[in-house]
Amino acid sequence: MKKTLILFAMVGLTNFAIAQKKRTTTSAIINFDATTSLDKLPKADNKTVVASIDTKTGNVAFESIIKSFTFANPKMQEHFNGDKWMDSDKYPTATFTGKITNLAAVNFKKNGTYGANVTGDLSMHGVTKQVTTTATIIVAGKKINTKTDFSVKLEDYGVNGGAIAAGKVSKDPKISVVADFK
């Protein structure tokens, strides 16, 4: 009986320790803003992004389904998913896998706001490029909130629709990623 209780206690503690180091969410948000002075409509949100953060190793990741981006203008959403843009039937997801490079500067056990440097690989439209950015991490009790903003060059990922050349869509859209981990 004692061995069984000890075994259950060890399994419980192991699960607790694992849960404390890697956090995940299925409701992270990516905002895509490709507005220009000629057109204020190329904005989209995706509120069903899967994200993870490992507080011990500093590994971070997210995965987004391209068709889950929603635009105010349905025609713009159709173009975004079309073969001349994101070609979401051929390339259904965008992913990021990276690492907090200054992990010692973030204390996940103490409430506060921390600046993090993040480097990793962003893959979309069949192309993978390294991205380096800064993020804000807010620790409040058992909750962790992360936010980062960065820009990408669409041509680096082989995205080059006619609206880009016409100046209606930014060549370097701003991407924001927000994730709440509980």
Domain segments of the chain as ranges: 2-181
Q: Which helix (H) or strand (E) element contains residue 76?
A: helix 74-81
The whole-angstrom separation of Cα 50 and Cα 86 is 19
Domain 2-181 listed as CATH 1.10.10.10: no
pTM as predicted: 0.84
- The three-state secondary structure class of 92 is coil
Each residue's pLDDT tens digit in the chain (182 positions)?
444 333 333 334 334 443 458 999 999 999 999 999 998 888 999 999 999 999 999 999 999 999 999 999 888 899 899 988 999 999 999 999 999 999 999 999 999 999 999 999 999 999 999 999 999 999 999 999 999 999 999 999 999 878 888 888 999 999 999 999 98
- Neighbour tally for 93: CB within 10 Å: 14
